[in-house]
Amino acid sequence: MSDILETGGEQLLAALRHVLEGKGIATTDEIQERMAVTDAANPGQGARMVAKAWVDPAYRRAMLQDGAAAAEAIGIPMRGMPPLGVLENTPETHHLVVCTLCSCYPRAVLGYPPFWFKSAAYRARAVRDPRGLLAEFGTLIAPDRKLRVIDSTADYRWMVLPMRPAGTEGSSESELASLVREGDMIGVTVPAMRALQGEKR
């Protein structure tokens, strides 16, 4: 039965590609290229953006103004992707990204969403009890620090620019990028110095 379903799915995909090409919307090569770009996307791409923003004030400003253009500037393909907004965490404000309807995610810069991002529990808790949710990830937000929950949609995707950890002065961009985890760019966790210290031992 699974073989039949797989064959049927392949036939449907081939038919869709044929229609798109026939209408001049996209060629088979363009579709294959887009699929390859999507499959190659991973959190390391977003981490490169974060690390560059930490060391380059001009890039940071550009990233906050237009995330997609900033991604393109360092070689991350964004053609055909929704606009990308970047939210900067500060000592006064922490951002948390959620998609309340489904699993809209900045895949071009973070890859496929983690399983929990798509769960109904995460989506509900992020809105109803964001501080409690973050505490379960080990992220404690001070009561006097503002917590903004941002809804990612099919029309506009969001990622977080986390604060640079103290004690990383003089570190290279690649070293800084190694500190940044996927959760840091969604806002459920924050970068920690311990990863870099471990590398330098």
Statement to judge: residues 73 and 112 lie in one domain? yes
- Judge if 87 and 162 occupy the same domain: yes
The predicted structure's pLDDT at residue 15: 82
Q: How much is the pLDDT for 192?
A: 86
Active-site residue, selected from the candidate residues 2, 104, 174, 178 = 104
The verdict on 18 and 76 lying in the same domain is no
> What is the dihedral angle through the alpha carbons of 189, 193, 197, 198, rounded to the nearest 10 degrees?
-10
**Cα within 13 Å of Cα(105), Cβ side:** 24
| pLDDT number for residue 25 | 75
Q: 103 catalytic, yes or no?
A: yes
My answer on whether 69 and 31 are in the same domain is no
pLDDT at res. 70:
98
Give the integer Cα–Cα distance in Å for 130 and 137. 11
Q: Which residue has the higher pLDDT, 134 or 35?
A: 134
Statement to judge: residues 59 and 70 lie in one domain: yes
Distance CA(66)–CA(159), nearest Å, equals: 12
Q: What percent of the chain has pLDDT over 70?
A: 84
Distance CA 6, CA 185 (A): 35
What is the arithmetic mean of pLDDT over 157-174? 96
Measured CA to CA, the distance from residue 201 to residue 193 in angstroms comes to 13
Domain shared by 114 and 184, yes or no: yes
Mean of the per-residue pLDDT values of the chain: 88
Q: Are residues 22 and 55 in the same domain?
A: no
Q: Which amino acid is at 1?
A: M
Residue 75: which CATH number?
3.90.330.10
Lowest mean pLDDT among 27-36, 76-85, 120-129, 132-141: 27-36
Residues 170 and 183 grouped into a single domain: yes
111 close to 43: Cβ distance less than 8 angstroms: yes
**Is residue 104 annotated as a catalytic residue, yes or no?**
yes
CB proximity list for 63: less than 8 A, separation 6 or greater: 49, 52, 53, 70, 86, 161
Strands (E) located in 17-176: 84-88, 93-98, 146-151, 157-161
* Candidates 99, 152, 171, 178; catalytic one: 99
Helix axes 57-65, 43-55, angle to 10 degrees: 130
Number of domains in the chain: 2
Closest to 114 in 3D by CA, of 36, 56, 101, 106: 106
Tell me: do 81 and 99 sit in the same domain: yes
Q: What percent of the chain has pLDDT over 90?
A: 72
Check pLDDT > 50 for residue 4.
no
Per-residue pLDDT at 148 exceeds 60? yes
Residue 133 neighbours by CB distance under 10 Å: 20
pLDDT of residue 125: 97
Mark whether 181 and 138 lie in a shared domain: yes
Residue 199 has a pLDDT of: 47
Please determine, for residue 138, whether its predicted confidence score (pLDDT) is greater than 70. Answer: yes
74 and 33 together in one domain: no
Quote the pTM value: 0.82
CB 125 within 8 A of CB 133: yes
Catalytic residue among 102, 119, 172, 174: 102
Tens of pLDDT, residue by residue over 13-65, are: 678 777 878 887 767 666 666 555 566 679 999 999 999 999 999 999 999 99
5-14, 71-80, 124-133: range with lowest mean pLDDT: 5-14
Which residues face 85 on adjacent strands?
158
- Same domain, yes or no, for 27 and 69? no
In the residue annotation, 171 being an active-site residue is answered as no
Residues spanned by the domain of 141: 41-200
